[in-house]
Amino acid sequence: MRFLFKTSYEADIRLAKHAGHVFWYGLLMAVLVAAPFTLGAYWLTQMSMVMIYAIAGLGLMLLSGYTGLMSVGHAAFLGVGAYTQALLVGAGVPFPLALLAAALVSGAVGVVVGLPALRVKGIYLAIATLAFGFIVEEILVRWESVTGGNGGLPVDTPSLFGMRLSGAVPLYWIVLVVTVLVTLLLLNLLRSGTGRAFIAIRDSEISAQSMGIGLARYKTMSFALSAAIVGIAGGLYAHQMRYLSPEQFGVLVSIDLLILIVIGGLGSLHGAFFGAIFLIATPQLISAYKAWLPAAIGQAPGILTFVYGAVLVAVILFEPEGIYGRWRKIRTYFELFPIYRKGMLRRERTFQKSERLK
Amino acid sequence: MLQVVLSGLALGCIYALIALGFTLVYKATETVNFAQGDFMMLGAMVTVVLTVWLDFPIWAAVILAVVGMTGFGALLERLAIRPVLGQPQFTVIMLTIGLGYILRGGVTMLPTIGTRTNVVAMPYQGQVWTFGSVAISVEQVMIVVMTLLLCGALFVLFRFTKLGIAMQATSQNQIAAYYMGIPVKRLNAIVWGLSIGMATIAGILLAPITFAHANMGFIALKAFPAAIIGGFGSLPGAVLGGLIIGLVEALAGFYLPEGYKDVAPYVVVLIVLVVRPTGILGERLGKKV
């Protein structure tokens, strides 16, 4: 059992709350840094993929998990980032600048979407973003002179200071550094005034407004930041895939991202990482074990869809806080060891609130 | 030209039927069913299973499918939706997305019929009526007629029956309805059953045109714009929105270059949302403090 005595405001907002945090996150970092020296290219690629999806998940988490706005079109930002990156790197722009530009372009598109989206909420916002996602996908298909249309667009290998960074190992390093930077950015954002404003808007728009938070300003900001972060993920995704085509950024990918944040745990940054691990590991596990299943089930083309759906429904019904929520319960159990009680972290009973009368 | 308008109207009626399904649910329970298209697919596939595997005559299969799916909808409400009522809208949307995924993935696990495109052998399949230069397929006429009949039935239900009036009361104010002795939970189950029964009818009507297969539910993604254009929560609005989307799509396919057809509904919905954020016939209510 650990007791935390906070004697100053700095202690309250410190990122590493106690020595345990320092130790475990330090160990995680050490393992991630050691990975390229011990693991093969296959595992490195998978880990890069997890981190890329985690960045995209972080972006959507900021919007949906922390600001309470739903988006069913986030794959579009992934696409905008990926194509910007591919085109700029293809034109000879150095890699970091291209990634920055991908974030900026994606963020700018986010502002454009965010502005009309401010007037609508709930299901209307979901459909507006869905519509936006479809339109962007169609633009990627039709604007053939730039995007290559359905034929696809090959992506150049990134280069830094004249060195060409090809292969799984350099890409892994790039992705790792960007992931750490984005995570730190979000951690700091969420403990700043802006982040608190986002959370206040999520919890109650009316109270946030009464506290002097400009809804329009902060919602647009959240949309732009979220889009920029997903754009960064898109830029990395372009290098990971080395070949882009519009169907990689369709509505199903947007829904994958939503599944990622819900299964990982809505409203926690850890959740984005857990969700990304789930999303990347599940197809691999299924293809590894489907020989054990009856042929009709194992060979069905929809088995992955079925598993995603079943896990999603199970998580929402039985563990609304997602994987991170389950982990928190297990941790609390051991921290309090003999005195943990079953209902301690149970969510409050809620009653249906009409969203029409807002 | 007339031909294009007619096929647009028929398509619009399908959108309208699907949109009616989730507008019904939204109005009564304020939950959004993202799996409506997949329920439509399931309805069509149940009909296929009944006719192909169990050799039912087509009329019996259709009736059985609609009745069975209505019961299934009510059961599903009890098992999956009711436990999360009161959670934010986002939760329910994700839950129905999950249910839709289960259905879409599960259907492909049916041996042979799950992975192929199936023909639902309607007696009127492939027949065409010709009036001068205009040819109308009977399938499209059936869609329009059935949509009109269903709209009429819904109108009667909401206007003249106790059940319908209780549903209206519930949708206006759930707690007040509860205090007035209306069994809100049972009503919710009935509404879900109705909505999924309507999805089944839409699926069976659509099957002769697009065939029945696991991914036919994606058409519902265009019914969302329909419901939004009409104003989510307004039943006449859903029909109007469906017709607008169907017409816009057919005309865009006729006059504009290839590719605009599929995005036209989404462009229209964005325009409508910018001009009138609550849709054409949407209710505009202010928060009373």
| Mean pLDDT taken over chain A | 86
d(CA B224, CA B234): 13
Are B99 and A304 an interchain contact pair (Cβ–Cβ within 8 Å)?
Answer: no
d(CA A296, CA A294): 6
Instruction: Answer yes or no: is B280 within a domain.
Output: no
**Which range among A102-106, A302-306, B125-129 has the greatest average pLDDT?**
A102-106
Question: Could you tell me the residue range of the domain that residue B179 belongs to?
Answer: 2-275
Confidence of residue A341 (pLDDT cuts 50, 70, 90): confident
Query: Residue A159's beta-bridge partner residues?
Result: A164
A-B CB pairs within 8 A amount to 167
Which residue in the set B101, B277, B286 is minimally distant from A124, CB to CB?
B277
Residue spans of alpha helices (H) in B161-259: 162-172, 174-179, 184-210, 220-230, 235-255
Residues in chain B: 289
Instruction: Answer yes or no: is B120 within a domain.
Output: yes
Instruction: Answer yes or no: is B14 within a domain.
Output: yes
Chain B closest-CA separation from residue A131 CA (Å): 5
Q: A24 Cβ partners below 8 Å, 6+ apart? A: none
Lowest mean pLDDT among A261-270, B163-172, B210-219, B276-285: B276-285
Instruction: Answer yes or no: is B81 within a domain.
Output: yes
d(CA A188, CA A180): 12
Instruction: Answer yes or no: is B289 within a domain.
Output: no
Half-sphere exposure of B151 (CA within 13 A, CB side): 21
Backbone dihedral angles phi then psi of residue A193, each to the nearest 5 degrees: -60, -40
What is the reported pLDDT for A167?
77
Confidence of residue A261 (pLDDT cuts 50, 70, 90): very high
Q: A245 Cβ partners below 8 Å, 6+ apart? A: A148, A150, A151, A152, A153
The token pair at A125 is 């916002």
pTM for the model stands at 0.89
Quote ipTM for the complex.
Answer: 0.86
The token pair at B103 is 């259905």
User: With contacts defined as CB-CB under 8 Å, which chain B residues touch A286?
Assistant: none
DSSP 8-state secondary structure symbol assigned to residue B87: S
User: With contacts defined as CB-CB under 8 Å, which chain B residues touch A350?
Assistant: 86-87
Average pLDDT for B155-162 = 88
Count CB atoms within 10 A of the CB of residue B147.
25
Domains of chain A, each with CATH number or no CATH:
35-339 (1.10.3470)
Instruction: Answer yes or no: is B90 within a domain.
Output: yes
Query: Please, are residues B190 and B74 in contact by the beta-carbon 8 Å criterion?
Result: yes
Half-sphere exposure of B127 (CA within 13 A, CB side): 10
Instruction: Answer yes or no: is B66 within a domain.
Output: yes
Average pLDDT for B255-281 = 80
Q: What is the pLDDT of residues B5-19, one digit of tens each?
A: 888 888 888 889 888
Confidence of residue A113 (pLDDT cuts 50, 70, 90): confident
Number of separate domains in chain B: 1
CATH number at residue B44: 1.10.3470
Q: B285 Cβ partners below 8 Å, 6+ apart? A: A356, A357
Residue A357 has pLDDT above 70, yes or no: no
Are A131 and B270 an interchain contact pair (Cβ–Cβ within 8 Å)?
Answer: yes
Q: What is the pLDDT of residues B170-226, one digit of tens each?
A: 887 778 888 888 888 888 899 999 999 999 998 888 888 888 888 888 888 888 888
Longest CA–CA separation in chain A, Å: 66
Chain B nearest-CA residue for A300: B109
Instruction: Answer yes or no: is B251 within a domain.
Output: yes
Which residue in the set B89, B91, B102 is minimally distant from A355, CB to CB?
B89
